[in-house]
Amino acid sequence: MLVHSKPPAMEQLSKPNHHRAAFIPLIDLSKPDTKAQLVRACEDFGFFKVINHGVPADLIRDLESEALRFFSLPLSVKAQAGPPDPFGYGDKKIGHNGDVGWLEYLLLTTNSSADYHKFSAIFGLAAEKFRCLVNKYIAAVRKMACEILEMVAEGLRIQQRDAFSKLLMDEQSDSVFRVNHYPPIPGFLESDGRNLIGFGEHTDPQIISVLRSNNISGLQISLKDGRWISVPPDHNSFFINVGDSLQVMTNGRFKSVKHRVVANGSKSRLSMIYFGGPPLSEKIAPLASLMQGEEDSLYKEFTWFEYKKSAHKSKLAVNRLGLFEKIVAS
Report, as residue numbers or ranges, the catalytic residues.
269
The C-alpha angle with vertex 232 and arms to 39 and 31, in degrees rounded to 5, equals 40
Q: Determine contact, residues 255/43, Cβ cutoff 8 Å.
A: yes
Q: Which stretch binds Ni ion (CB under 5 A): 38-46, 201-209, 218-226, 320-328?
A: 201-209
Binding flag, residue 204, Ni ion (CB under 5 A):
yes
In angstroms, what is the minimal distance from the CB of 270 to ligand OGA?
9
Closest distance to Ni ion from the beta carbon of 122 (Å): 26
Nearest Cα residue to 203 out of 104, 319, 71: 319
The closest of 275, 325, 290 to 2, measured between CA atoms, is 325
Q: CA-to-CA distance for 97 and 324, rounded, in angstroms?
A: 20
Report the alpha-carbon distance of residue 288 to residue 251 in Å, rounded: 10
Task: Choose between 153 and 208: whose C-beta lies nearer to ligand OGA.
Answer: 208
| 99 counts as binding Ni ion under rule CB under 5 A | no
Q: Does the footprint of Ni ion cover residue 201 (CB under 5 A)?
A: no
Rounded to the nearest whole angstrom, what is the least distance from the CB of residue 294 to ligand OGA in the complex? 36
Q: Is residue 254 within 8 Å of 247, Cβ to Cβ?
A: yes
CA distance 17 to 132: 40
Nearer of residues 53 and 163 to ligand OGA, judged by Cβ? 53
Instruction: Give the nearer residue to ligand OGA in terms of CB position, either 78 or 259.
Output: 259
| Nearest distance, CB of residue 326 and ligand OGA, angstroms | 27
Provide CB contacts within 8 A for 185, sequence distance 6+: 102, 196, 263, 265, 266
Q: Which residue minimizes CB distance to ligand OGA?
A: 271
**Residue 53 interacts with, from ligand OGA, Ni ion, none (CB under 5-8 Å by kind):** none
Q: Which is nearer to ligand OGA, 165 or 220 (CB)?
A: 220
For ligand OGA, give the closer residue by CB, 84 or 286.
Answer: 84
Instruction: Give the C-alpha separation, 163 to 226, whole Å.
Output: 31
Partner from Ni ion, ligand OGA, none binding residue 247, C-beta < 5-8 Å depending on class: none
The DSSP bridge pattern shows strands 176-182 and 228-230 to be unpaired
Please give the residue ranges that form the binding site for Ni ion (CB under 5 A): 204
